Amino acid sequence: MKILILCTGNSCRSQMAHGFLQSFCPDIEVFSAGIKPTERVNQMAIEVMKEAGIDISGHEPHNVSEYLDASWDYVITVCGGAKENCPAFSGMVKHRRHFGFDDPSTADLLDLQQTMGEFRRVRDEIKARFYSFYLTGLCGKECS
């Protein structure tokens, strides 16, 4: 099973989804990429995932162009920008899904505590949505 998770910058939401989905089943091949990838994964995303017991500190943003010729069981967009600007894949894509989440990196908040709270809220939404997807769509197909 091969899954590609797309976001605009590949620095927050797609990286968190990648980390969670991989943690649910190590046998699933999970990749993430951005339409306009940033230079590095957002440090606050790394921190809130660490709080959840998942280390994404070794992840790096990738450009979706690296994956256009591959075949995918699922291509999942996690933001409106990626959904609207998703390029055409020349490889086979069996299923496309969109699970939209707010971008915590653009939250206009006053202090670090509020900003981290927004990252935690989005992290928890991502975990719940991808766990539901895993249970209903993938469970038993790759992992026992």
State the catalytic residues: 7, 79, 86
Closest by alpha carbon to 13, among 58, 65, 63, 80? 80
Distance CA 82, CA 67 (A): 14
Side-by-side strand order, sheet with 93-98: 29-34, 2-7, 72-77, 93-98
- Contact, 127 vs 121, CB < 8 A? no
Contact 49, 21 (CB under 8 A): no
| C-alpha span between 12 and 18 (Å, rounded) | 10
